[in-house]
Amino acid sequence: MRKVYYEPVRLIEEKYGNFIVNDPANIVRIERFGHRWYTADGMKDVPSSTTILNSKPNPALENWKKRVGKTKADQISQIAKDTGQEFHSAIESYLKNETHFPENTSEPAIRMFRKVEPYLAQISDIQMIEKPLIGPYYAGTPDCIARFNNKTSIIDFKTSKGGVRNDTLVKYLLQAYSYHKLWEWRYPNWYTTIPHGLVPQQYVIIVGTSEIPEPEIHVFEGHKDIPNEDIAFAKPSKFPEMWRENYETYLRSVFRE
């Protein structure tokens, strides 16, 4: 693995730590209702943002499972999950300036990593990597919060065979939005105390692909509309409403009578 040197400054933790108002200790992933939840000292148990977003029906996925059969679908899904975890671990090692891939990293994960490697070099000034954040109603673990191409970003790493569909991209953007809200809850006075350059300004989805030659890099500036007409409804002003809809859908599915 090529060594990329930079100094992870973690400026907010070191220089602006006094402005962290909500920082519960011992944030831990747990399982409730068969789903991923989080708990922390002094906080009620809350679902993960991924669990919330995955609660909405996915007809395309269900049709695929019926077409290939449950056994084969489970096998394919497990392989994809394992490869995705290896891909994430390889990126995490890279961002921590480690010089080797984690042990037992598969060739498919390495190939996807190589495709996104040039874009990883645009990441600097890391605030956090895989650090869980919890709020009053949900929690989550952003892959990375750092500067990407000189803008502080919520960065998520994904994998796909042939690219991300528009409906999936909207879900990924909502996931990044949920992390942004958790960041703001941690620093409730961020707009007066945290330098503007350290406040997340955009969402970046970096997609490692296995069956097409190039990766997908989606950069979404939170104050601008998405140029893609197919997902133009996913405007920043719509995010709170869309997130609330997903949250309420999940709660109804869990606590239905």
Q: Quick check: 43 and 159 in contact, CB under 8 A?
A: no
Single-letter amino acid code for the residue at 193: T
Q: CA-CA distance, 8 to 16, in Å (whole number)?
A: 15
Per-residue pLDDT, averaged over 183-189, amounts to: 83
Q: CA-CA distance, 20 to 14, in Å (whole number)?
A: 11
pLDDT digits (tens, 9 = 90+) for 202-253: 999 999 999 999 999 999 876 554 444 444 445 666 778 888 888 888 888 8
pLDDT band at 2 (very low <50, low <70, confident <90, very high): very low
Q: Quick check: 27 and 36 in contact, CB under 8 A?
A: no
pTM: 0.86
Q: CA-CA distance, 109 to 114, in Å (whole number)?
A: 9
